[in-house]
Structure 1
Amino acid sequence: MEKRPFAELGLSPEILRAVDKMGFEEAAPIQAAVIPTVLGGRDVVGVSSTGSGKTVAFAIPALERVDPKLRAVQVLVLCPTRELAVQVAEEMGHLAQFKRGIMGVPIYGGQSYERQYRALAAGSQVVIGTPGRVMDHMERGTLKLGALKLVVLDEADRMLDMGFREDIEKILSAVPVPRQLLFFSATMPRPIQELIKRTARDPAWIKIEAVAQNAPQVEQIYFEVDRRSKLEALTRLIDVHDFRYGIVFCSTKVMVDDLDEHLHARGYAVDRLHGDLSQTQRDRVMDKFRRRGFEFLIATDVAARGLDVDDLEVVFNYDLPNDAEDYTHRIGRTGRAGKSGRAFTFVSGQEIYKLQAMVRWAKLDLRRGRLPSLDEVEEARTNVFFEKIRAALEAKEFKPHDRMIDRLLDQGYASTDICSALIHLLQGGSTGTPAAVHESAKASAAAPDWARRKSAPESRTAFPSEAGEIRPSPKASSFAKPTPDKTADGLPALAGRKKQKYARPPRTGAEPGMSPVVLNVGREHQVTPADIVGKIAGVTRLAASIVGAIDIHERHTLVDVAENAVPVVIKKLAGIRLKGVALAPVLPTTTGPT
């Protein structure tokens, strides 16, 4: 079975919009087979394990069958565990975000009956729950199945193994006829076959074979990281391993653009690839990437499909892929031709359960990793710099500067102090004088971005969730938000970090030694002084002290910059995105934005 675009599956505009926002550009094989079959009204038996994309396969047609005007339970999804119920509820909530009037609720043991009862009494049309708690609500009279249209048994074999057979049969006996039944199971033991034979009506059997596509030459490591800390985790791993050539996969086009902007601001040489780019733009980016014109390609799965790039050092799964097949396709882009490679995956919150299911389904050799500390990152940078100096000394690939060194020695400076000062300047330090700024700017302009990469000011804006929390509304769709378990935060210090504040007075005219530059962003773009300073320092690799007063207007901003650094700032910022806007810095003598 092959993947197909979701647009070819006969879905409503609301579902297609949600699917696009979630970054699902193509339907997985099981989705392409199941969705049209269910929409056609047939019962379905899907032989497929968790991790193959089956949640979306049954969630989409289930939501399409819901009548938003009818305030009664119309879809029931039975899951073997609380964790799976929470995961399915979140996925269905994201898919229903543009379906007005549709509400859903997860019900499982360990959560308050009162909260679940209120959601059911409010008219939730979709219920996702474990068999035991569903039975409890049925016996209490708080869950009525008279209007039920569709029942999904997710991981039916596990539910029978856990002793839910009697509960399942009671639930199905209470469901009115006609009804539509969907069974999903990794295996087909005799009890499942007998249950299907007794309850289903001429079901369509759809089987997706589990194929182990593990890459033996790829070292696979995952990190549990809070969503807000992924950027810091990514840059630490790049720096501590000194990676210079790899791909970073994101789940949505919006996330690709955001990450591209943030990494540019930190001085990394990156470019992006997703479905909104024209074929000409894609070809240009890929040609440059193959020639190592930049370090990291940030891409979605569909845009990167079919890439033929050799010698990749690493693949980052910045966002967890939709299914195990996409995961194996991603990591297979490194470790080719007998060479070793690395694949790092970030997971946050409930995603750990999805990753565990993918590991079981595709038989992945995946282990948990520990993120390096700031001290470890700094030590790694120092070691890399030390090796570069040592290699240059051994190769004697440098021009002698005996005369300048003798002058410094004659003035009483110790040789160790001279070397320390030079290393300080080479690593991006500055004395703060205009001459030093001028020399630093010249050096920055001459060297490629990744040759002078170092720590840049932290991004003050946490990455937004792709779909976010769906809040109850009388008009919009609403799924009761499940209470997630607490998960380990790989970078706890960053999760609670406060925004850095820049107390700068309003601009009243250029200060001595400074020159104003006009940027085409302002208050309407929600730009702050911290954003301006961070972007300039991150992109130019100059010290933040070159930035003076900042005066933010409605649609433009005036920034005082050290006079000798103005050419570098204008050149380096041109085309860099800030708050989604491509910057076009100009001098105030040029007609600027108003």
Structure 2
Amino acid sequence: MGFEETTPIQEKTIPYGLQGKDLIAQAQTGTGKTAAFGIPIIQRLETDASDIQALVLTPTRELAVQVAEELNRIGQFKKIRALPIYGGQDIGRQIKSLKKHPNIIVATPGRLMDHMRRRTIRLQSLEAVVLDEADEMLNMGFIEDIENILAETPSERQTLLFSATMPIPIQRLAKKFMRDPQVFSVKAKEMTVPNITQQYMEVQEKKKFDVLCRLFDVQSPKSAIVFGRTKRRVDELGEALNKRGYAAEGIHGDLNQAKRDSVLGKFRRGAIDFLIATDVAARGLDISGVTHVYNFDIPQDAEGYVHRIGRTGRAGKEGLALTFVTPREIDHLHTIEALTKRKMERKPVPSIGDAIEGQQRLAVDGLLEVVQQGNLQGFKVLAEELLGEHDSAILVAAALKMLTKETIKEDAIKLTAEPPLRAKKSNNQRYSKGRPQNKGGKNWGKPGGGKGKGRSNRSSSNKWK
């Protein structure tokens, strides 16, 4: 699969997981968690069993699909098959796939419970259960569903819990359903990937969009994700970028599954250069080749920041993460720096002249790329005629001007302003009665994206450990 060495969390958990023991792993997204639980589980499974032997619970349908794909790659030579089960997909199609006897089910809690009620999925033969991104499932109100699901599984199963943070309800869940679990964690100094260059710019709210466009022109990112705080922000930003001539589309919790798949497919194929996303929509996305991450709005907390920038700098490649900070948000930035133990480099705002120079450089690169591709015979006669009438330098200058994107007046587009975030004094908490605030999207893992009866998280004690 191209793996050359283990990540810190893999090194700690794989040997222990191979022994069939319960474990808790505290690790961020992008640290190789899927292989950390996938390798020991697949190694221990029997290939000739007809029942479901392992279950992986995930908060979102996107993550379910990506985890299943990864497990299928890990298990291909052992003939271990994983099937994603999630809301928004035809349940009849899922039932048909279940009749082919997959070894592993990767599911969102809501849709799994639908199958359990229909008796199309039975958990009596499970040997292992994985709770992936447990804290995010708590945030989305799945804690009661998870308890109901675990109550239906064999008591002798192996349980592996992966979570970026360990709030009190998750600790209670572990105490109730796990057997003497060993706890492994990635230290704070390892929270952010070393090969991601982290920068910030102090920008007034009303100037953010123009500065973002200048950055695109100066940096020419091949593939970038832009994070906005709300669904409205994502919609407005996507529309505005397209008006400026950038190929961009947005993704957030209000989009149906078909639209989300379409947008992500375009981004993976390179049909669009910029993916605009809310935190909830981007949770669990595993897209290779992302060169730049732009935090158009500063994230709510350190965990959100680490999750966002982890979209780039993957598989040992270099990445750049740049965060816009309004003057009133500087203290909030310093709070994130303190918790991640990583200073961001302050960068000056690029000028319009810098943007024009970047566009010109992009035009030159485009012209040289066409020259390298060759196959210009059909244009040579016309070129020679033009050179007979005009100076060669003038002709090249005209071609570059034509290739350089026309600049729209910077005051032509206005976005709805978002209020600034302030640094919080009490441990930077973002919970109130067990529900996240200002998450920017619906609960995706449930059928229809709604809350559903009996699926709210009623815990009122949600402080971090």
TM range (shorter): 0.3 to 0.5
TM-score scaled by length of structure 2: 0.48
TM-score scaled by length of structure 1: 0.38
**Structure having greater relative contact order (Cα 8 Å, sep ≥ 6):** 2
Q: Quick check: which has more Rg, 1 or 2? A: 1
